[in-house]
């Protein structure tokens, strides 16, 4: 027999993101579906892309072999709103910020999207092998990634933290010293995990008990662990954690921004696709489609003024 608490936990796990996202406030290594109905599904039904016309100026920047092929191969990580998710698990209809920008850019370039779902941590290595032309997964632009990957930016997101709603002890995290002695949950293979692990020494250097990092790769595991008290705090994307906290059933509280990052289409280093993708994003900004997509997903604060190719990581 299931208790009401168990039912709530099961429902939450099924309907909400477990934000094990990546890249310093980016990359969705999230889990759980958005579920049918509700604000995410309503937003998903709003079509802002299909009516877009080809931009001859942007398309002219495509490499000849891509123009001839007529397709772009995307390796995409899916999880939960607002980044990329399935409206329902039966139809597997994709939706989210990443999906809208992918489809919009392809329309402007006169190309067909060939999208393959992939585990977040496998996408960037697969770009170098040529398996995918472009990677999407709310990938944040970091100094480490720029050594091997090029980016064409389209939003600004970043790192944040969340706790259970009834946890009032931890306030906005502006320094990792605030995490000393706590267990922090995040996504396996993400830059959140990298950030936490690379700075583990801050607590010991201050004579305090180090924080423990628990990395999750399975759908639902991170959020469930937070709800059940197995982790004290979760680190993930700003947009994802805000969305999660807005869902009452999650029982979480967003602690605010920690570090902002640009988010972009990921490309093999030196890819000749970058100028065309950049031109397409900038066309979306110019014609107003860009703002409409951000407002559709409730992330207007993530707007950028113009797309850039491989800008430096935010300081």
pLDDT tens per residue across all 315 residues of the chain: 333 333 333 333 333 333 333 333 344 443 333 333 467 778 888 999 999 999 999 999 999 999 999 999 999 999 778 999 999 888 899 999 999 999 999 999 999 999 999 988 899 999 999 999 999 999 999 999 999 999 999 999 999 999 999 999 999 999 999 999 999 999 887 889 989 999 999 999 999 999 999 998 765 789 999 999 999 999 999 999 999 999 999 999 999 999 999 999 999 999 999 999 999 999 999 999 999 999 999 999 999 999 999 999 998
Write the DSSP assignment of 29-59 as a string of letters.
Answer: -EES---SSHHHHHHHT---STTPPP-HHHH
Q: Which residues pair with 264 in a beta bridge?
A: 153
Structure tokens at 9: 């936990």
Which helix (H) or strand (E) segment holds residue 100: the answer is helix 97-109
- Which of 153, 162, 157 shows the shortest CA–CA distance to 83? 157
- Three-state DSSP state, 261: strand
Query: Residue 130 burial by CB count (10 A; 0-12/13-18/19+): exposed, middle or buried?
Result: exposed
Decide if 211 contacts 196 (C-beta within 8 A). yes
Query: Residue 197 burial by CB count (10 A; 0-12/13-18/19+): exposed, middle or buried?
Result: exposed
* pTM for this entry: 0.85
- Which of 109, 115, 26, 119 shows the shortest CA–CA distance to 77? 119
Please give the Cα distance from 14 to 39 (Å, whole number). Answer: 16
Please give the Cα distance from 232 to 163 (Å, whole number). Answer: 7
What length does the chain have? 315
Structure tokens at 143: 């100094």
- Three-state DSSP state, 114: strand
Q: How many CB atoms lie within 10 A of CB 46?
A: 14
For tokens 């995290």, the residue is 173
């Amino acid at each position: 027999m299931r208790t009401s608490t168990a039912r709530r936990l099961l429902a939450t796990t099924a309907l909400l993101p477990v934000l094990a996202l990546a890249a310093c406030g980016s990359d969705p290594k999230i889990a759980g579906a958005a579920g049918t109905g509700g604000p995410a599904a309503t937003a998903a039904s709003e079509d802002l892309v299909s009516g877009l016309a080809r931009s001859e100026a942007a398309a002219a920047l495509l490499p000849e072999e891509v123009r001839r092929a007529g397709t772009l191969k995307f390796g995409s990580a899916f999880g939960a709103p607002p980044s990329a998710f399935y409206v329902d698990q039966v139809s597997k209809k994709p939706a989210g910020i990443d999906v809208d920008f992918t489809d919009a850019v392809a329309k402007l370039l006169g190309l067909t999207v060939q999208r393959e779902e992939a585990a977040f941590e496998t996408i960037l290595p697969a770009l170098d092998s040529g398996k995918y032309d472009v990677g999407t997964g709310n990938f944040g632009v970091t100094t480490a990634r720029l050594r091997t990957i090029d980016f064409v930016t389209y939003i600004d997101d970043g790192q944040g933290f969340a706790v259970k709603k009834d946890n009032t002890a931890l306030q906005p995290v502006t320094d990792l010293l605030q995490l000393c002695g706590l267990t922090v949950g995040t996504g396996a293979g993400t830059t959140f995990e990298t950030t936490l692990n690379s700075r583990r020494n801050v607590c010991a250097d201050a004579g305090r008990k180090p924080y423990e990092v628990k990395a999750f790769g399975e759908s639902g595991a991170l959020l469930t662990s937070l709800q059940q008290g197995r982790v004290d705090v979760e680190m993930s994307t700003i947009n994802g954690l805000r969305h999660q906290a807005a869902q009452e059933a999650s029982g979480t509280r967003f602690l605010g921004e920690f570090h902002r990052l640009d988010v972009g289409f990921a490309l093999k280093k030196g890819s000749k696709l970058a100028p065309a993708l950049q031109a397409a994003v900038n066309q979306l900004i110019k014609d107003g489609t860009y703002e409409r997509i951000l407002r559709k997903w409730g992330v207007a604060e993530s707007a950028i003024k113009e797309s850039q190719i491989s800008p430096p990581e935010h300081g």
